[in-house]
Amino acid sequence: QVQLVESGGGLVQTGGSLRLSCTAAGVGFDYHATGWFRQAPGKEREAVSSMSSNTGREYYLESVKGRFIVSRNNAKKMVYLQMNNLSPEDTAVYYCAALDERLHDYNSLNDFSLNAIRSWGQGTQVTVSS
């Protein structure tokens, strides 16, 4: 089981940037796809971006393509989300998540799903002011 702790959220103006970090602990990080979900008030939690531990392939929600970049450092057991050109629509609690690729098919962002993920961070608030 992989344990996750996020950091880096905060308040930023429209057009600004933030970098979220996620520290992983436990066994099996190298076998887990990692990425980020977000949940805005009154809305369902949605996958924003994920990255395969095997191929390094990245997947993005359509609305963040070209603005967000997911990355990971296996040696440090870290996951990152660089968010650029932020808008008020990006305001949400952001959650780091990990999916065991040994147990689940993972070929798209849709496969990085709420039902399949067993490792979650506690969430970090991102607020974008207009």
**pLDDT value of residue 45:** 97
3-state SS class at 86 = coil
**pLDDT value of residue 1:** 84
Across 63-81, average pLDDT: 97
* pLDDT per residue as tens digits for the range 96-108: 999 999 999 999 9
CB 119, CB 3: distance < 8 Å: yes
Work out whether the CA dihedral 53, 72, 18, 65 comes out positive or negative.
negative
| Rg (the chain; Cα; Å) | 14
- Residue 50 banded pLDDT, cuts 50, 70, 90: very high
**pLDDT value of residue 112:** 95
Give the pairing of strands 2-7 and 119-120.
Answer: unpaired
What average pLDDT does the structure give for the chain? 96
Cβ atoms < 10 Å from Cβ of 125: 12
- Residue 33 banded pLDDT, cuts 50, 70, 90: very high
CA distance linking residue 38 with residue 86, whole number of Å? 14
Across 15-24, average pLDDT: 98
**pLDDT value of residue 14:** 98
